[in-house]
Structure 1
Amino acid sequence: MSKNTGNEKKLISNGEEFDRLLEEKEAFFVLFSNDSCGYCQMAENNINQVIDSFPQLDLYQLKLNDAPEIFERYGINSVPVSKVFKAGEAVYTGFGVRSPNDIYYQLKSYFDGGNSYFQDLADKNN
């Protein structure tokens, strides 16, 4: 599997596509958002800072207008919300804008990553 570049976010276009991902993918990261949400853009920027450290995770975005039934299924009443799914189950949920450091260490508890967020950041900048 190739390493993420942070800009390879994929949009989920409907609930059926989301359900197919749950069945087919071992693990993936979803940012639940809305078009008019400035905080969602901030959340996406923070996620992009750390997603490269977890090449096994693909980043997806699901917008409220595209699949309101999925938002209802997971009880999402406000955005941004980020979730990591592993083997079809949500294993991590982050509400609001999470810092890159927080996202990194939450993901590290579920997946192999680098030494630390700060070491990965230094390595990426060299």
Structure 2
Amino acid sequence: MAVLKITAQNFEQEVLQSDKPVLVDFYADWCGPCKMMAPVIEEIAEEADDIKVGKLNIDNEMEIAQKYGVMSIPTLIVFKNGEEVKRDLGAKPKKAVLDMLK
């Protein structure tokens, strides 16, 4: 499955109302570590059938980033049944992200 572009318009439907866990990558285009994470996020999205993977640009969606207290990027948040269940900050290797999803 491709990486979903998460926006204020689809956040509730794609993340909060999802029947699968959702990994959301809070990022910005100007962020170096976010660019390093992009291939990892894309690989996980392609390989994972049991989760959704989305990216949310904090410059475009500041209200959502503020609501979830995202102070630095990249921030990865896993949502399950509409609730945040895990969070990790900074660039991570693929294995660390996959461990977060367990």
Give the TM interval when normalised to the shorter protein: 0.7 to 0.9
What do the CA deviations read for 1:9-40 (whole angstroms, capped 9, x no partner)? 11123x24212324421221110011111211
Q: 1:84 aligns with which of 78, 82, 97?
A: 78
2:62 maps to 68
Corresponding position: 1:58 with 2:40: no
Corresponding position: 1:25 with 2:18: yes
- Report sequence identity in percent: 26
What residue ranges of structure 1 are gaps of 5+ in the alignment? 109-126
- TM-score of the superposition, structure 1-length normalised? 0.70
Tell me how many residue pairs correspond in the alignment: 101
What do the CA deviations read for 1:70-98 (whole angstroms, capped 9, x no partner)? 11111111110011111001111110001
3-state secondary structure, aligned to 2:92: coil
Between Structure 1 and Structure 2, the one with more helix by share is 1
- TM-score of the superposition, structure 2-length normalised? 0.84
CA distance in 2, matches of 1:49, 1:22: 19
For residues 95-114 of structure 1, the aligned pairs below 5 Å read 95-108=89-102
CA distance in 1, matches of 2:45, 2:5: 16
What do the CA deviations read for 1:35-71 (whole angstroms, capped 9, x no partner)? 1112112112223344445311121111012211111
1:12 maps to 6
* Larger-gyration structure (1/2): 1
**Runs in 1 of length 4+ with deviation above 4 angstroms?**
none
3-state secondary structure, aligned to 1:65: coil
CA distance in 2, matches of 1:21, 1:39: 25
